[in-house]
Amino acid sequence: MGAMSYEAELQRQHPRYRLPMRATIDGRIYEVHDWSMNSFTANVAGFTAGKKVMVQLTSPFNGYEFSLTVPTEVLYSTESTKRSSFLFLDLEDGQVSLLRYVTDAILSGEVVRAGDILDVARRTDTAKAKQMPAAPRLKPAARFAQIGRRIAASGGVVAIGAALVAFLSANVYDELYVVTPESASIAAKTVNVASPAVGRITFVNEKTQLSFGEPLITVNPAVGDPITVESPCDCVQTEQRFASGDFVRTGDPVIRLMRADAPIVVSAAVSDNKLMSLYGVKTASLVYPDGTHVGDAEILWLPGKGGSQSDLPRDPLTVLIAPRKELSTDMIGQPVEVRFDLFQESAIGRLVHGISSVFSSETSNQAVAQETKQEIKP
């Protein structure tokens, strides 16, 4: 490799290399005396210190050249030695990396001087491959243990994959075939008993079961005699919003009543864009707050479908469902989880149902034929 020198303190002590390199300045080519990572010295004089010049540095290799164009500043120019020193300015990251690669290759011996050019030292990869020792033979017990561990690991992977497939399948099924209402609760048809005048309540009937004509509330208005409101039916008192002594205005709902024989159902509020898909569905599944699960609960009423069942708490955009469970008046208002399954009414569901019906019929016919043969045998 060529000679190496070190810069003065001003040049930050970068190693300098005397290797073949040319500098092209203003179209003229000069030989580079030595160079480093931050500067180079060329065999030329006549430059003014501090002048900024663009320099193209070229290093000849065997069969190709390495060229780099960099901005520089003249540090000094001496007539006696016919040399000028140039400092690199604002090198780009790629240029710094390229110079560092060349210098590292020179230091490691990968790039060497061959007369007036540089050459890459050849490497011979003739080392023999290391012979790996054969794996020791396992005893039968150890071999069975190894096989068991592999089977267990494979089974774990299969189980995780099956769980993932089941999870994704359930989500896809719910997205395609399951409708859930915006809200659902236990409900019954009720009526509000309102205050007949502005005044103070002097009496509220606390009984749960009320008979027709039985006094419900008495309001003492500011002017005039006290006014008593009677029960309009054999009713069940489901809610009291005011107590005796409270001040009320005309029309304020004081008591909520439910007819004693009114059916208690599950009322589900469904958005209008989902309600259209429920007109072919006949049942729903329910989950009550106590954890009770009910499947195939009959749909009693849909808006515009279900007859004139005036004793049901019908409202627009609601679906009424038979509870299939004994409910009490104190459960009115409790939330219920409701799911409508559309699969049976879909084209795929009808196809699956038809195929299963054919197989069921064929199985029944075979069973009847078998019984007939057994009866014929003497």
Instruction: Give the per-residue pLDDT at 320.
Output: 92
The verdict on residue 284 lying in a domain is yes
Tens of pLDDT, residue by residue, the chain (378 residues):
444 444 444 444 577 777 778 889 888 889 888 888 888 888 888 888 889 999 888 877 766 777 888 899 998 888 888 889 998 888 888 777 877 777 777 767 676 655 555 555 555 444 455 566 666 776 777 777 878 888 888 888 788 777 767 765 666 777 777 888 999 999 998 889 999 999 999 999 999 899 999 999 999 998 889 999 999 889 999 889 999 999 999 999 999 999 888 899 999 999 888 888 888 888 999 999 999 999 889 998 888 776 667 778 888 889 999 998 888 888 888 999 999 988 876 556 556 556 665 566 656 656 555 666 555 555
Is the same domain home to 217 and 283?
Answer: no
Domain count, the chain: 3
For the record, the structure tokens of 348 come out as 């795929």
For the record, the structure tokens of 20 come out as 């073949």
Instruction: Give the per-residue pLDDT at 9.
Output: 42
Is the same domain home to 212 and 284?
Answer: no
The verdict on residue 155 lying in a domain is no
Is the same domain home to 183 and 312?
Answer: yes
Is the same domain home to 196 and 179?
Answer: no
Is the same domain home to 218 and 274?
Answer: no
CATH for 286: 2.40.30
Per-position DSSP letters for 65-96, written without gaps between them: EEEEEEEEEEEEEETTTTEEEEEE-S--HHHH
Whole-angstrom distance, CA of residue 32 vs CA of residue 43: 6
The verdict on residue 350 lying in a domain is yes
Among the three residues 209, 240, 259, which one is the final residue of a domain in this structure? 259
Among the three residues 242, 259, 276, which one is the final residue of a domain in this structure? 259
Is the same domain home to 311 and 171?
Answer: yes
Is the same domain home to 172 and 307?
Answer: yes
Angstrom distances, CA of residue 377 to CA of 100, 128, 205, 369, 371: 102, 85, 78, 13, 10
Is the same domain home to 291 and 177?
Answer: yes
Is the same domain home to 212 and 304?
Answer: no
Supply the range of the domain harboring residue 78: 4-120
The verdict on residue 374 lying in a domain is no
CATH for 238: 2.40.50.100
CATH for 103: 2.40.10.220
The verdict on residue 342 lying in a domain is yes
The dihedral built from the CA positions of residue 278, 283, 285 and 288, taken in this order, carries a sign that is: positive
Which of 55, 86, 56 has the alpha carbon at shortest distance from 73?
A: 86
Residue 39, strand partner residues:
87
How confident is the model over 97-145, as pLDDT tens digits? 877 777 777 767 676 655 555 555 555 444 455 566 666 776 777 777 8
